[in-house]
Amino acid sequence: MIALLFFAALLWDEAGAWGFKDGVLHNSIWLERAAGVYHRESRSGKYQLTYAEAKVVCEYEGGHLATYQQLEAARKIGFHVCAAGWMAKGRVGYPIVKAGANCGFGRTGIVDYGIRLNRSERWDAYCYNPHECGGVFTDSKHVFKSPGYPNEYENEQICYWHIRVKYGQRIHLQFLEFDVEDDTACMADYLEIYDSYDDINGFVGRFCGDELPDDIISTGNLFVLFM
């Protein structure tokens, strides 16, 4: 269970200080609509899931492997991940919003590896789950809680919270209470925080256990919390 408070603080109001450059932050505005689609990797790391295992990962969380169309719909509104994953019907690919030399061969779109004949190949997974929990907050102060708080969080449930404030503002996230099942490497239950939709550069941290995390201040006008 977690309870969090955030408030937006106008810490830096210099126009253009963080850009909507290169499409990333710009796209982020719309991403909450893509939140039904998400990326998953094996608990043992990147590119470890066979097709059957990828299906199980999504189904365990109440969803299923995303179709190509669902992934593309998510991509069109900002979903960008630099890792190939299984989709429905044994297809493999990944969504690229921002062209980059290190990912997607400098192109945007779904990088499509096609339908794999060998279902024992190991990739990540793209799941679709319309029943997720979470929310989108744009107000300047808000307290929110995990579902059922203060009771146990149901660990099959996937939640995304998107906190977005005005361009030029930053977000101050403060934890009021925190208790997420502890395990050795925060593998099973955890809260992850990103401050952009870039899955690598935007990663802020992963938290579990019952120690109250320190306050966190965003670098831009966005936080995404995933649990």
Ligand X SMILES: *[C@@H]1O[C@H](CO)[C@@H](O)[C@H](O)[C@H]1NC(C)=O
β-strands 85-86, 124-128: how paired? parallel
To 10 degrees, the CA torsion angle through 211, 197, 158, 184?
-40
The burial of 62, by beta-carbon neighbours within 10 Å (0-12 exposed, 13-18 middle, 19 or more buried), is given as middle
* CB closer to ligand X out of 44 and 102: 44
Amino acid (1-letter code) at residue 88: A
Give the residue with the Cβ less far from ligand X, 41 or 192.
41
Using the minimum distance from each CB to ligand X, give the nearer residue, 120 or 184: 120
Q: Least separation, in Å, of the C-beta of 206 and ligand X?
A: 28
Question: SS3 for 1?
Answer: coil
- Give the residue with the Cβ less far from ligand X, 57 or 92: 92
Q: Name the residue among 164, 138, 159, 141 with its Cα closest to residue 149.
A: 159
Provide, rounded to whole angstroms, the least separation between the CB of residue 42 and ligand X: 14
Quote the CA–CA distance of 162 and 153 in Å, as a whole number: 19
Contacting positions for ligand X (CB under 6 A):
118, 120-121
Select 102 or 120, whichever has its Cβ closest to ligand X.
Answer: 120
Residue 47 or 105 having the CB closest to ligand X: 47
Contacts of 21 (CB under 8 A, 6+ apart): none
Counted residue by residue, the chain has a size of: 227
Kindly state the smallest distance separating residue 48's Cβ from ligand X, in Å.
11
Return d(Cα 92, Cα 98) in angstroms, integer. Answer: 19
Q: Which is nearer to ligand X, 7 or 113 (CB)?
A: 113
Beta strands in 21-147 (DSSP E): 37-40, 64-65, 85-86, 91-96, 109-115, 124-128, 133-137, 141-145
Closest approach, Cβ 51 to ligand X, in A, equals: 10
Residue with the shortest CB distance to ligand X: 118
155 forms beta bridges with: none
